[in-house]
Amino acid sequence: MSLLRAENLEARHGQLQAVRGISLEVREGETLALVGANGAGKTTLLRALAGAHRPAAGRVLLAGADVTALPTYRRLALGIALVPEGRRLFAGMTVEENLLVARANGRPGPWTVERVLEVFPMLRARFRARAGTLSGGEQQATAIGRALVTNPRVLLLDEVSLGLAPVAVERVYQCLESLIAGGATIVLVEQDLARALRVATRVACMLEGSVVLEGAAADMTREQVTEAYFGLGRNAQREPA
């Protein structure tokens, strides 16, 4: 049984249809990487799963329960946590305060502030620094930690490496891989195909609001994903014989 499922999900920005009838599932303990070019609909899909964007049609189910009509805070209480693109921390609050605010609104479970500091040791020295003074990598670690202390059943990560220096990306991914090894259930939006394929259990490639390629990461080649990413196979089919 899937832990998180989208059924014929559609989402719009005004007249623009950003997500087009997507159906996919995430099983407990797996990492699903959502890849695709800018504008493919990945962020809108993630926001629709989290309740931050109201779908135009379709359903979102968590462990078989329909949560489509529930707002973000209700889904958070049930176990769907989103780390948004751009982190969106409370810049004037410290790392500690960002974590404690989230913890107060989460579920009971094993994730505590101390455990976040164990997974992201770079935050110990910055624990009482204001979030707005952190480096990009430290902000991303804080944003992921903020989601973890809510004890999510599913962690939705949007553009983990976006805007980070290579050394910061490496540090964040080292910590992320430890989460994956510990059995976390993750949906990851990532522009870096190599990293996405390395950490994912399954990959879904989006193009123009639809999933055009989906399968086990181990069974996919970089060439297959690249063709789907840029719509090369679709373009080939459209060309006259």
Write phi, then psi, for 69 (nearest 5 degrees). -85, -5
Q: Which residues pair with 183 in a beta bridge?
A: none
Q: How far apart are CA 240 and CA 44, in angstroms?
A: 33
Per residue of the chain (241 residues), give pLDDT as tens: 689 999 999 999 988 999 999 999 999 999 999 999 888 999 999 999 999 999 999 999 999 999 999 999 999 999 999 998 877 898 999 999 999 999 888 899 999 999 999 989 989 999 999 999 999 889 999 999 999 999 999 999 998 888 778 888 888 888 888 889 889 999 999 888 888 888 999 999 999 999 999 999 989 888 888 888 888 755 433 333 2
Write phi, then psi, for 157 (nearest 5 degrees). -115, 120
DSSP SS3 for 220 = coil
Structure tokens at 101: 């605010």
pTM: predicted TM-score of the whole model, two decimal places: 0.89
Domains and CATH numbers, the chain: 4-229 (3.40.50.300)
